[in-house]
Amino acid sequence: MLSLTLSELSRAVGGRLLNADAAEVLVSSLSIDTRTLRAGDVFCALVGERFDAHDFIETLPDTVSAVITQVEKQTAVPQILVEDTTEALGKLGAYVREKAAPRFCVGITGSVGKTTTKEMVGDILTKAMRVHSTVGNFNNAIGLPLTLLGLSEEDDALVLEMGMSDFGEISYLTRLARPNIALVTNIGMSHIENLGSREGIRDAKLEIIEGMQAGDTLILNGDEPLLRCEQVRAKTAHLNVIYVGFDRENDVYPTDIYRGRNYLSFDIVSPKGEERVTIPAIGDHFVRNALFACAVAQTVGVTDDEIQRGFSSYEPQGLRQKIYERGGVTVIADCYNASPESMNAALKVLQSRSGRKIAVLGDMCELGSMTHMAHNRVGHDVVDCEIDVLYTFGKSARIIAESAVESGFSGAVRSFEDKEELARALKELFRDGDHVLFKASRAMKLEEVISLSDLGE
């Protein structure tokens, strides 16, 4: 965090410093977790559904510089009194973003592909400038302000992921971040339970433009009809809109895609010309992510060489698609999240592999009334992608199995609700040369089945 006096910090969060003699104390770091508090930190006492950090204020060590609180406490630690500590955290993040003033701020949202696109954008931009970006999935009302606090005045670019599950959430985040380049990767079915329809999801994603100014750049998935309609054109008329996608009517599109065993190579065609790039990843969804990253890079003036070097250094993060071999079996581990769109993309990756193709698919969560339809659709995809063996995990995923059978699937099908039983069945199933995909929503913790099956990385 930038170095601030407590009086300046207090003004930034709209609070009142209760200890006037501490006004000129300098602070440069903030924590929201007592377990990671360091000497000199400011502690922000957040209130959640299941916790209230105010309970810990009176036991804070006196090495803490100050505490941002909603309730005055009996403590020697200087206190900054605010109405809402979560809002105060957001105000402080926005203040630091304003003061650090990076030349470029890239905001990324979408139903699928946010994190992959963010990583690609960051990998490319770091070849040309100093970049600060979202770590992991710090993309909500708490995570994004914490990311903003990590900015320094030396940073040229800020790359932010923005997540949401309901209306108004992206609106809040974009007003803190004020991106001058924004991306909407796609409109899927994630969180349809709250948003009612894909049109509702689109409108919630497009809240990202509320933090933008006339002439700023908005990059949209041009293959998505919901983003090509007249309503969207009217709403975004004040922005420089760039469409990317596989359709050649887009401003940025790919040609001559070569799908290697562990890489993709293709030409990116744009108003700036044509360039060949190679990415150490498989699956056509990575091509679209790369188009977004290239569009951002070209907007900020990154060279073709820097773009290629950025793509070459890309590596999937966390529990997202990782491909490796263990005991003669090739594992495609993709356990971070799942939607019908990402399930289809993962099944196509499995389809592209040689040898026996085994899909281990778990529940897709937060689909509300669309749950049955969405899982039913994945069952059809299993058949279309010519999968040899289908094992499912979870009550909703059983619909995938039933749908696949009804659609003519002739391979082995089994459904499970116990991870250890599933793992035992997989151990008996595997043989040299198999390719197995593990895919489910994060809540299913399907990575535990990978470990139980002795297939951990």
Q: What is the pLDDT of residues 371-417, one digit of tens each?
A: 999 999 999 999 999 999 999 999 999 999 999 999 999 999 999 99
**What pLDDT score does 319 carry?**
55
Phi, psi torsion values for 221, nearest 5 degrees? -75, 105
**What pLDDT score does 317 carry?**
63
Per-chain mean pLDDT for the chain: 93
- Token pair listed for 431: 């043989």
Write the CA distances from 309 to 124, 303, 316, integer angstroms: 7, 10, 16
Percent with pLDDT over 70 in the chain: 98
Q: What is the pTM of this model?
A: 0.81
**What pLDDT score does 135 carry?**
84
**What pLDDT score does 275 carry?**
92
Domains and CATH numbers, the chain: 4-83 (3.40.1390.10), 101-312 (3.40.1190.10), 322-452 (3.90.190.20)
- Token pair listed for 71: 């309730």
What pLDDT band is residue 284 in, cutting at 50, 70 and 90?
Answer: confident
Alpha helices in 317-437 (DSSP H): 340-351, 371-384, 397-406, 419-429
Cα distance between residue 282 and residue 184, in whole Å:
22
pLDDT tens digits along 230-278: 999 999 999 999 999 999 999 999 999 998 878 899 999 999 999 999 9
- Identify which has the larger pLDDT, 426 or 319: 426
- For residue 443, the number of C-alpha atoms closer than 13 Å in the C-beta half-sphere is 7
What mean pLDDT comes out for the span 311-317?
81
Q: Which has the closest alpha carbon to 391: 364, 420, 412? A: 412
**What pLDDT score does 336 carry?**
79
Answer for the pair 438, 335: CB distance below 8 angstroms, yes or no. Answer: yes
**What pLDDT score does 320 carry?**
65
Percent with pLDDT over 90 in the chain: 81
**What pLDDT score does 265 carry?**
95
Cα distance between residue 422 and residue 424, in whole Å:
5
pLDDT tens digits along 49-105: 888 999 999 999 989 999 999 999 999 999 999 999 999 999 999 999 999 999 999
pLDDT tens digits along 137-190: 789 999 999 999 999 999 999 999 999 889 999 999 999 999 999 999 999 877
What pLDDT band is residue 318 in, cutting at 50, 70 and 90?
Answer: low
